[in-house]
Amino acid sequence: MELCRATLSRAPFLPAAPPSLPVRDFRKRRVVCLSSGKSESTESPKDTQMVVSVTGATGFIGRRLVQKLLADKHKVRVLTRSITKARFVFPVENFPEIIIAEEEEWKKCIEGSNAVVNLAGMPISTRWSPEIKKEIMQSRINVTSKVVDLINHTNAEVRPSVLAQVKLKSLMRLVLQEMTTYQRFSWIHLDDLVNLICQSLTNPSYKGVINGTAPNPVRLSEMCDQLGQVIGRPSWLPVPDFAIKAVLGEGASIVLEGQRVLPAKAKELGFSYKYPYVKDALKAIVREL
Ligand SMILES: NC(=O)c1ccc[n+]([C@@H]2O[C@H](COP(=O)([O-])OP(=O)(O)OC[C@H]3O[C@@H](n4cnc5c(N)ncnc54)[C@H](OP(=O)(O)O)[C@@H]3O)[C@@H](O)[C@H]2O)c1
């Protein structure tokens, strides 16, 4: 997956997202690629408290991101389609400090936020048809357009300075069935992805587009071997459903893309992976089950 980070402070306006490929246009005009060779800032996020608005915060990546932002003492505004759902995900007794807002309140939340993270979109973990694929794409375009529009209509003094967005590279690339067991694919542990997003919010060297993948892609057969070892079952035995789901499904900490993508820019930036190897990532996932 790709992470885009747009620096907004010097740009008076983001281009309005066109109906087809919103992010591509950002890249041409305002989003600077995360390709700087500078190393990570030594400044801890704790030194600079931010207000961060997050769409899709109730989802797989968003939940972990919100927890991490709160742990780093930032303030979080959850932009959701449903307060009821969001309150269920973030119960007030555990998350008293977050603000939850439905769409009509998004503008107010974005005003005064230092950063916006856009993770919203219809889930991809569903049986796909041409119509569903269109809906999956359209849902992302709609939310991105709305967020960009709201940012554009925010006064410069209260405009967020960063927009970060995790995006699908191409829906077709995510079709696991098209892979052979010998084809290498890229993956990333959820904690590393969340750390990468957080770095992009706090570190100005993280600009533009960065591949959110671990540095060591694996073959499907290797991953099955490793998973077999981690859960103590020979890899020639069928891997149990719960384990496959844990790795590939919604509750997974491994994120698949149907191609080998290397995180050259993250490496250039000196991003430090907690889980560079799939075996360690799998161990961590299984520990959490
Ligand atoms: N997880 C992965 O493996 C993976 C891989 C590549 C890229 N990504 C991208 O990263 C982003 C976050 O992924 P995720 O796995 O955390 O997503 P997710 O669990 O499916 O959650 C996405 C959130 O988007 C909102 N949403 C759902 N349907 C929507 C719709 N039709 N229109 C607008 N908003 C909708 C929901 O939030 P509310 O109900 O609170 O509004 C939901 O919690 C997505 O854009 C995804 O495409 C994820």
Nearest to 191 by CA among 97, 91, 68, 282: 68
Q: How far is the CA of 185 from the centre of ligand 1 (A)?
A: 21
User: For residue 97, is pLDDT > 90?
Assistant: yes
Cα 123 to ligand 1 centroid, rounded to whole Å: 5
Pocket flag, ligand 1, residue 171 (CB < 6 Å)? no
The pair of structure tokens assigned to 82 is 């449903």
Domain count across the chain: 1
Q: What is the pLDDT of residue 195?
A: 95
Q: Is 22 in the pocket of ligand 1 (CB under 6 A)?
A: no
Lookup: tokens for 36? 């700087």
Round the average pLDDT of the chain to a whole number and report it.
Answer: 78
Percent of the chain with pLDDT over 90: 48
In which band, very low, low, confident or very high, does the pLDDT at 40 lie, cut at 50, 70 and 90? very low
Domain CATH for 270: 3.40.50.720
Q: Is the pLDDT of residue 154 over 80?
A: yes
Q: Which residue has the higher pLDDT, 33 or 225?
A: 225
Token pair in block for residue 137: 């794409």
What pLDDT sits at residue 241? 55
Instruction: Answer whether 61 contacts ligand 1 (Cβ < 6 A).
Output: yes
Mention every residue, 6+ apart, whose C-beta is less than 8 A from residue 238: none
Ligand 1 centroid – CA 15 distance (Å): 23
Q: CB of 120 closer than 6 A to ligand 1?
A: yes
Q: Does the pLDDT at position 277 exceed 90?
A: yes
What pLDDT was estimated at residue 21?
A: 31
Q: The domain containing residue 260 runs over which residues?
A: 2-288
Please name the residue whose Cα sits nearest to atom 24 of ligand 1. Answer: 120
DSSP 262-273: --HHHHHTT---
> In terms of pLDDT, which residue wins out, 219 or 6?
219
100 pLDDT tier (thresholds 50, 70, 90):
very high
CA of 89 from ligand 1 middle (Å) equals 14
Distances in whole angstroms, Cα of residue 13 to Cα of each of 24, 83, 269 = 16, 29, 27
Distance, in Å, from the CA atom of 175 to the CA atom of 89, rounded to the nearest integer, reads 28
Query: What CA–CA distance (Å, rounded) separates 284 from 184?
Result: 21
Helical (H) or strand (E) element with 169: none
Distance between CA atoms of 32 and 210, rounded to whole angstroms? 10
Whether the predicted pLDDT of 148 surpasses 70: yes
54 touches ligand 1 (CB under 6 Å): no
Instruction: For residue 75, give the 3-state DSSP assignment.
Output: strand
